[in-house]
Amino acid sequence: MKVAALDLGSNSFHLVVARIVADSVQLLHRVKQKVRLADGLDGNENLTDEAMQRGLATLEVIAESLKGFEPDSVRIVATHTLRRAKNANRFIKAAKAILPYPIEIISGVEEARLIYSGVAHTHHATGQQLVVDIGGGSTEFIIGSGFTPLLCRSLQMGCVSYNKRFFPQGEIKAKYFDKAITTARQELEIIEDKYTQLGWKSVVGTSGTIKTLFELCRTEDSSNEQQITLKQLKKLKEKCIAAGHVNSLPFEQISEDRRPVFCAGLAVLIAIFKALRIEQMQFSPAALREGVLYDMEEALAESDIRERTAGSLVTRYDIDTHQAQLVLTTCMALISAVAKPWAINNKRLKNMLGWAAMLHEIGLQINSRGVQRHSAYVLQNIDMPGFNQEQQDLLATLVRFHRKRIRLTELPEFEQYDRQDVIKLLCLLRLSVLLNIKRQDNFVPEISITAEHNTLTLNFPKGWLNTKPIINADLECEIAYLAECDIELVIVG
């Protein structure tokens, strides 16, 4: 089986094609194209047309390498710049015309988790290790042990964004370096205590910025070929300042596309060494895209990670698991009955409905009044390892409208999910919550469920609804609510 992972980064787009043989990943092909998407973020955090065109032109080149791949064998993830860009959807819509695969905008924490997975699968380490990845717009920090990430953070500092702020004209001065290093250290203040307290035995750097610095350090100091040290980085800084301009940098190993952002990346790494008191750092060639590949190879890994995430939220927010399980059981019965006639016979949709059922009352800890709004807010904004941003948005949308009126104008536009499928999932979740409103075991009787086109029919045992006037009244209201979404709910019994 051939699989491909595409990383739409702030500095470069990276494609990795691999073959899965006997549960192992064999890399076959790589494509790396400089795009500098982060350079195209304007003052209003919109991507400029020029930056979009650079990105789309690059995708047309990459598309050649993806011809013939099945939809489930390609995963595309977008990181910091598309996370920040307010008009990211416009870019993604245009990209879909070039690449017929879903594009996931992943959170910083999810990016960090995937980076760690890539390093852990390819770089042997004993004990806890700190992994650092300097990208174009953000830098990820992960402490992990074995294949398990223990602490993941993403900070908004990268070689492209810092170059734009501190070295915009290519001029290199000591004061520019000092400002960049000080700003990065200020950014690092929010994590340094927690990270140094948890600790690590070894430090691993990854991705293009650290790779370039690692190779330069080896060339400049052959006595320590396997590690980067702060002393070596300071020597590189002094040589940069002496050169005075990026065009005069005395390092032949630096490629032309890396040269403009080199000093910014160096400043960020110096700040990291100082703030976290790092003595030496190794380099690993594996990074985000390899992590994505290993997630694809371990078919159950993603599900397990998301189940752990959902489970930890249930515990942290003290969710009533008995009620959640009642709603979940009804949801699974409903979707099993209608999956084929409603064309939602999709494991991913079923999983999302299940997690929404488990988490729909997560906002109760904030306030029981307007619980659906509080639940949506939590799921929209909390870090959820294993879930990409659109999956979080879908969960938030489902729980936001699990009761009361469905405001169609407030439903977001999804790139990975069809709007009608979202409405159908909403319908099933709402009915499951409604039928379990009494929060009692064995309260819901045996119901036969049929679906055809946009019609859903619930057949209750004869006379049961006559004994449950509140449920009956709730179902009458639900008929009106769902009619506004062009779903006809028919109640028999």
User: What is d(CA 62, CA 45) in angstroms, rounded to the nearest whole number?
Assistant: 26
Q: Which of 155-159, 284-288, 411-415, 416-420 has the highest mean pLDDT?
A: 155-159
For the sheet with 202-206, list strands across it: 148-155, 139-145, 128-134, 202-206, 280-284, 228-229
Choose the most confident range, by mean pLDDT, from 127-131, 300-304, 457-461. Answer: 127-131
Instruction: List, for residues 333-374, the tens digit of each pLDDT value.
Output: 999 999 999 988 888 899 999 999 999 999 988 888 888 899
Q: Do the beta carbons of residue 118 and residue 291 sit within 8 Å?
A: yes
Looking at the predicted structure, is the pLDDT value of residue 402 above 80? Answer: yes
With 80 as the cut, is the pLDDT of residue 406 above it?
A: yes
- pLDDT tens digit sequence for 40-97: 988 899 999 999 999 999 999 999 888 888 877 899 999 999 999 999 999 999 998 9
Q: What percent of the chain shows pLDDT beyond 90?
A: 56
- The chain-wide mean pLDDT, for the chain, equals 89
461-485: pLDDT as tens digits: 888 888 888 888 999 999 999 999 9
> 34: which residues sit within 8 A by CB, 6+ positions away?
11, 12, 257
When pLDDT is averaged across residues 389-408 and rounded to a whole number, the result is 91
Nearest to 76 by CA among 86, 66, 84, 85: 66
Angle at 401 between CA 440 and CA 477, to 5 degrees: 70
CB within 8 Å of 108: residues ≥ 6 apart? 80, 83, 138, 140, 153, 154, 155
> CA separation (Å) from 136 to 107, 163, 165, 210, 472?
15, 9, 13, 12, 57
- Distance separating alpha carbons of residues 274 and 187, to the nearest angstrom: 13
| Ranges 134-138, 162-166, 367-371, 430-434: which has the least confidence | 367-371
Torsion of CA 259, 214, 165, 234, to 10 degrees: -110
Query: Which structural domains are found in the chain, ordered by start?
Result: 2-106 (3.30.420.40), 109-287 (3.30.420.150), 300-492 (1.10.3210.10)
Could you give the dihedral angle defined by the CA atoms of residues 380, 386, 391 and 394, in that order, rounded to the nearest 10 degrees?
-50
pLDDT at 22: 59
Token reading at 186: 């200020």
Whether the predicted pLDDT of 385 surpasses 80:
no
Distance CA 339, CA 162 (A): 49
In the chain, what percentage of residues exceed pLDDT 70? Answer: 97
For the chain, how big is the Rg over CA atoms in Å? 26
Q: What residues does 16 pair with on adjacent strands?
A: 5, 30
Which amino acid, 278?
I
SS3 242: helix
How many angstroms separate the Cα of 373 from the Cα of each of 364, 376, 402? 10, 5, 10
**Can you give the length of the chain in residues?**
493
Edge-to-edge strand order for the sheet containing 455-459? 448-452, 455-459, 488-492
Tens-place pLDDT, residues 252-310: 888 888 899 999 999 999 999 999 999 999 999 888 988 888 887 655 345 567 787 88
- pLDDT on residue 300: 38
pLDDT in tens, 171-180: 999 999 999 9
Residue 367: the pLDDT is 82
pLDDT classification of 205: cutoffs 50, 70, 90? very high
77 and 292 Cβ atoms separated by less than 8 Å? yes
State which amino acid sits at residue 189. E
- What are φ and ψ of residue 171, in 5° steps? -80, 140
Residue 40 carries which DSSP code? G
| pTM more than 0.85 | no
What distances in angstroms separate CA 235 from CA 229, 230, 253, 395, one per listed residue? 10, 9, 16, 50
Contact between 35 and 58 under an 8 Å Cβ cutoff? The reply is: yes
On the question of pLDDT at 148 being above 60, the answer is yes
pLDDT at 390: 87
